[in-house]
């Protein structure tokens, strides 16, 4: 992975300067990012299912993976509807998403559960913040896809049980979650530098204070998930 250049503080731009062309490129970018994100999440979860200690766990993770593929299909269909080549739309995000997954390959079953829960949800929160600024009906589609997870309870229950059986596990998993967030931020910054239209949507919120509020919302939700797992954020 090449070192990410310093993005520096986002410049403040008035919402009115975000014109239709920018929004359209941003829509394509977000859909492309989401599509490839779901496709790689599918692949990685299905691969991680091989580490599952029981058949029931294997089935649960495989089900989560299959749901990710259904999401990929929904996003791909939306790109088709917009007349956008889905491979072209995904292309800019292959390198950062591959780099993220390569640098965060879970070493065991618990790490893969934490990645599925913490990693997926922090990404989803970030996508949601951008999606809220997209035109209809892409906005509604993206928000619907992001809401359809429903696998939180499974991961939380398994991780809590593992910590309860062996409390020393908590320290290792908390470090792991921190690494996941760090790598995600590194790649998000890389995407932000390369994709002006996507960044433009967030910059379009008007001021650094609003941008900080978005970041704080995402990190607060992350903290609640870590607490649910029984891990210190």
* Complex with its own copies: residue 41 or 226, whichever CB lies closer: 41
Residues 143-202 that bind its own copies (CB under 8 A): none
Specify the stretch interacting with its own copies by CB under 8 A; choose among 19-27, 88-96, 109-117, 160-168: 88-96
From the list 34, 71, 72, 106, which residue makes contact with its own copies (rule: CB under 8 A)? Answer: 72
Q: How far is CA 124 from CA 83, 152, 157, in A?
A: 25, 13, 21
* CA dist., res. 184 & res. 104, Å (int): 9
Binding flag, residue 123, its own copies (CB under 8 A):
no
In whole angstroms, how close is the CB of 62 to its own copies at the nearest point?
6
From the list 56, 136, 165, 209, which residue makes contact with its own copies (rule: CB under 8 A)? Answer: 56
Site string for its own copies, 6-45 (x = CB under 8 A): ------------------------------x--x--xx--
Residue 213: how many other CB atoms lie within 10 Å: 13
* Complex with its own copies: residue 92 or 139, whichever CB lies closer: 92
Binding flag, residue 59, its own copies (CB under 8 A):
yes
The two tokens of residue 42 are: 């599918």
* CA dist., res. 86 & res. 1, Å (int): 24
From the list 65, 114, 116, 202, which residue makes contact with its own copies (rule: CB under 8 A)? Answer: 65
* Complex with its own copies: residue 67 or 205, whichever CB lies closer: 67
* CA dist., res. 149 & res. 225, Å (int): 14
From the list 7, 66, 107, 153, which residue makes contact with its own copies (rule: CB under 8 A)? Answer: 66
* CA dist., res. 45 & res. 57, Å (int): 12
Q: At what angle do helices 120-131 and 20-48 cross, to 10 degrees?
A: 170
Residue listed under structure tokens 């995600």:
184
What are the start-end ranges of the H helices in 82-115? 86-103, 109-114
Site string for its own copies, 205-224 (x = CB under 8 A): --------------------
* 2 conformational bin, left if phi > 0, alpha if psi -120 to 50, beta if neither: beta
Is the four-CA dihedral 66, 68, 69, 75 of positive or negative sign? positive
Binding flag, residue 50, its own copies (CB under 8 A):
yes
Binding flag, residue 57, its own copies (CB under 8 A):
no
In whole angstroms, how close is the CB of 43 to its own copies at the nearest point?
6
Report the length, in residues, of the chain.
233
From the list 4, 47, 149, 189, which residue makes contact with its own copies (rule: CB under 8 A)? Answer: 47
């Amino acid at each position: 992975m090449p070192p990410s250049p310093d993005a520096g503080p986002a410049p403040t731009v008035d919402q009115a300067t975000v014109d239709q062309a920018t929004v359209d490129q941003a829509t394509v970018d977000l859909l492309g990012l989401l599509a490839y994100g779901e496709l790689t999440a599918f692949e990685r979860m299905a691969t991680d299912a091989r580490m599952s200690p029981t058949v029931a766990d294997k089935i649960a993770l495989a089900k989560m993976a299959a749901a990710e593929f259904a999401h990929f299909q929904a996003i791909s269909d939306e790109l088709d509807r917009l007349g956008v080549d889905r491979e072209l739309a995904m292309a800019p995000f292959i390198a950062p998403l591959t780099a993220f997954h390569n640098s965060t390959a879970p070493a065991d079953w618990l790490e893969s559960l934490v990645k599925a829960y913490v990693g997926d949800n922090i990404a989803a929160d970030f996508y949601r913040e951008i999606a809220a600024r997209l035109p209809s009906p892409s906005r509604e589609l993206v928000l619907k896809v992001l809401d359809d997870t429903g696998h939180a309870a499974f991961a939380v229950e398994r991780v809590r049980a593992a910590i309860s059986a062996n409390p020393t596990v908590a320290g290792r998993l908390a470090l792991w979650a921190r690494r996941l967030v760090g790598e995600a931020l590194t790649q998000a910054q890389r995407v932000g530098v390369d994709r002006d239209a996507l960044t433009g949507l967030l910059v379009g919120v008007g001021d650094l204070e609003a941008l900080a509020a978005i970041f704080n919302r995402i990190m607060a939700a992350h903290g609640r998930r870590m607490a649910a797992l029984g891990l210190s954020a």
